[in-house]
Structure 1
Amino acid sequence: MYNEWANRSEISANLFNPAFLSEITRIFGKEYLSNTDDDRFTFEQIIIALPIILDKQLRESLPKTKATKFHEWIQINGHLIANFDKKVEAILPYIRESVVFSVNHEIYSIDEFGTFELLRTRKPRYWRGMLEETEAIFKAAKFLGRWFTEFPKPRVIFALLGVKP
């Protein structure tokens, strides 16, 4: 189902490492849940968030505050969003792999409706001395977690991004 580690490029193995993606998801989920009445987050939200967070151009184009509406951000950054469906398609196997990792390591659980309950909220010790790029990725995950509380249903976001669920 997944590429063998030996067959992955070094960049792919690092950027799409299941533990790294799980940490990004944990940060996103913690921020989302801290800023909403929801007690769970969804796979659809992760499918939208991770490609934005991991793509440097998209990440750097994120607004400074959540006052900017998502559709406005898409209009301003249409040139970056143009192939978003292809980005989702390319990263989806790695997202699935990170979900399996996260459940196996009790970072979050998945209920019968397919929503995620965050089990681990403390940040790991390895955060000290992280690379600037990693810090930017984690900062974007925090922002998107807060910003997603302002979003309509994920299916509307999929439509705006040109992704078919």
Structure 2
Amino acid sequence: MSRVWLDLPRDSAALFNPALLAVTVLRGVQGAVEEGKRGLPWETAYLVVPMCLDADVRSALSMRLNTPMVSWIASHPSERAAIPGKAAAISPLVTVGLDLALRTRTLAIDGALIVPGEHKVPKVIKSASSEVAQIQKAAKYLGRWLTVNPNTTAVLNIFGVRP
């Protein structure tokens, strides 16, 4: 297990549980695949996770694929402003979650894409927390929405996240 995760305070460790982060990336990948893509560009995972874990950002998502990203950003400047810092802060933790998903073959790497792995996971991970269900739903949506634009670098730039 990574020292990055082990060194977190207990409450943060629960929120940034590698299994939850792995499932969040998986749901993003599944969303991209539903959209007809082969997988999720690996850099996009580092945008999907912080957007899903932030309750304010998550609740502001339109959940409609035809919402232009630029319009969403214009309508939600405070949520957008929080994304770059949160993405940078949890990047090492996303890596830990992604590593877990790769080691368990839940996800795989195919070139520049994260793709579904051999190990199948239920469509919804049941949890005592409705927040976990909301995170999964948001991740699937973001996997679809963020891959509508084929230019990953442009998408990351729109949200202020550096690859």
| Correspondence for 2:115 | 117
Structure 1 length-normalised TM: 0.87
| Correspondence for 2:21 | 21
Structure 2 length-normalised TM: 0.88
Counterpart of 1:82, as a letter, is A
Residues 68-96 of structure 1, C-alpha deviations (whole Å, 9 max, x = no match): 11111011111121132211110100011
The aligned runs of 1:33-72 (5 Å cut-off) are 33-36=33-36, 38-72=37-71
| Correspondence for 2:104 | 105
Please give the secondary structure, in 2, of the residue aligned with 1:74.
Answer: helix
In the aligned structure 1, how far is the partner of 2:55 from the partner of 2:5?
25
Identity value in percent = 24
Please give the secondary structure, in 2, of the residue aligned with 1:27.
Answer: helix
Residues 49-77 of structure 1, C-alpha deviations (whole Å, 9 max, x = no match): 11110100000000031121111101111
Please give the secondary structure, in 1, of the residue aligned with 2:64.
Answer: coil
Q: Is the 8 A contact 1:31 1:146 kept in 2?
A: yes
The root-mean-square deviation of aligned C-alpha atoms, in Å, is: 2.0
In the aligned structure 2, how far is the partner of 1:4 from the partner of 1:52?
19
The structural deviation recorded for 1:102 is 1.0
Q: Give the gaps of 5 or more residues in structure 1.
A: none
Counterpart of 2:133, as a letter, is E
Counterpart of 2:33, as a letter, is L
Please give the secondary structure, in 1, of the residue aligned with 2:13.
Answer: helix
Could you say if the C-alpha distance between residues 154 and 4 of structure 1 is closer, same or farther in structure 2, counting changes exceeding 3 Å? closer
The aligned runs of 1:82-93 (5 Å cut-off) are 82-93=81-92
Q: Is the 8 A contact 1:70 1:151 kept in 2?
A: no
Could you say if the C-alpha distance between residues 33 and 22 of structure 1 is closer, same or farther in structure 2, counting changes exceeding 3 Å? same
| Correspondence for 2:73 | 74
Q: Is the 8 A contact 2:35 2:144 kept in 1?
A: yes
Could you say if the C-alpha distance between residues 160 and 148 of structure 1 is closer, same or farther in structure 2, counting changes exceeding 3 Å? closer
Could you say if the C-alpha distance between residues 149 and 101 of structure 1 is closer, same or farther in structure 2, counting changes exceeding 3 Å? same
Counterpart of 1:54, as a letter, is L
* Equivalenced residues, count: 161
Could you say if the C-alpha distance between residues 39 and 9 of structure 1 is closer, same or farther in structure 2, counting changes exceeding 3 Å? same
The structural deviation recorded for 1:17 is 1.0
